[in-house]
């Protein structure tokens, strides 16, 4: 499944063509094309789908969406081991299939 995931712009490469930036998805960082939101600034949140930032999003909505995606296990599905590692590094327990199954028991 490919989600449109909110992330925080942490760096912008103005020299890249097309315009790209480094986006932080709760500890997992990935490059994304910023052409559709070319006036975005570092520190703002965007919604990214298949490597393209499609629109801006306010911080409150972005963080609420990330929390919900994490609770549903959708970020692990989208980012795999990278999301789990970032969660461990941040000292947060990542929701995994195994943890969901053990909670259900």
Q: What is residue 1's predicted lDDT score, i.e. its pLDDT?
A: 46
What CATH architecture is 5-104?
Roll (2.30)
- Tens digits of pLDDT across the chain (105 residues): 466 889 999 999 999 999 999 999 878 889 999 999 999 999 999 999 989 999 999 999 988 887 887 777 766 656 555 555 555 555 555 555 555 455 555
Alpha-carbon gap, residue 67 to 6, rounded angstroms? 11
Q: Mind listing the pLDDT tens digit for each residue in 85-95?
A: 555 555 555 55
Candidates 68, 101, 66, 73; CA nearest to 84 is 73
12 near 48, Cβ under 8 Å? no
Q: Which residue has the tokens 């912008």?
A: 12
Stated pTM of the model = 0.67
- How far is the CA of 30 from the CAs of 8, 45, 48, 99, 100, in angstroms? 10, 14, 10, 26, 26
Candidates 34, 29, 20; CA nearest to 86 is 29
């Amino acid at each position: 499944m490919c989600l449109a995931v909110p992330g925080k712009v942490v760096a912008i490469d103005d020299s890249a063509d097309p315009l790209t930036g480094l986006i932080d998805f709760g500890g997992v960082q990935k490059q994304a094309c910023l052409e559709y939101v070319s006036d975005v600034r570092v520190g703002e949140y965007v919604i990214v789908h298949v490597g393209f930032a499609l629109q801006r999003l306010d911080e409150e909505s972005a963080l609420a969406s990330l929390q919900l995606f994490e609770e549903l296990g959708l970020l692990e599905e989208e980012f795999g081991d990278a999301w789990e590692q970032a969660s461990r590094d941040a000292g947060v327990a990542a929701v995994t299939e195994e943890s969901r199954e053990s909670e259900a028991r």
